[in-house]
Amino acid sequence: NAGVTQTPKFQVLKTGQSMTLQCAQDMNHEYMSWYRQDPGMGLRLIHYSVGAGITDQGEVPNGYNVSRSTTEDFPLRLLSAAPSQTSVYFCASSGPGQGGPDTQYFGPGTRLTVL
């Protein structure tokens, strides 16, 4: 199992550009989520999905869109990048594990810089 994969690892955008961060998991987990991590702050939930076709907003959803057409994939779209979106982005899927049904498995992250 590859677990949770994310692409790209690094990305530099100019203000106003759009892009999609890719996330895929091969564990057949229903629940997937996107977080951003900024220095001195905890992981903050952007959007999450409890299954194909179902998404909902987290704590900091503005400027981001998501869709979930399959169980495996959960892309995150930046509509018009802003410097405030410079961050490290983590995708996670959640399923049965040592931590119970809510054990989260994280991808390696995408480091995004918006100039």
Partner 1 sequence: SQKIEQNSEALNIQEGKTATLTCNYTNYSPAYLQWYRQDPGRGPVFLLLIRENEKEKRKERLKVTFDTTLKQSLFHITASQPADSATYLCALGTGGFKTIFGAGTRLFVKA
The DSSP letter of residue 98 is: T
Among 34, 48, 64, 74, binds partner 1 (CB under 8 A): 48
Of residues 3-22, those binding partner 1 (CB under 8 A)? 4
Which of 71, 68, 52, 64 minimizes the C-alpha distance to 89? Answer: 64
Of residues 62-81, those binding partner 1 (CB under 8 A)? none
What does the block give as tokens for 44?
A: 């903050």
Cβ distance to partner 1 smaller for residue 31 or 67? 31
Among 18, 53, 99, 115, binds partner 1 (CB under 8 A): 99
Residue 41 in contact with partner 1, rule: CB under 8 A: yes
d(C-alpha 96, C-alpha 99), whole Å: 7
Among 11, 19, 27, 58, binds partner 1 (CB under 8 A): 58
Residue 50 in contact with partner 1, rule: CB under 8 A: yes
CA dihedral 87, 77, 44, 54 (to 10 degrees): -170
Residue 106 in contact with partner 1, rule: CB under 8 A: yes
Spatial contact of 71 and 11, defined as CB atoms under 8 Å apart: no
Cβ distance to partner 1 smaller for residue 17 or 103? 103
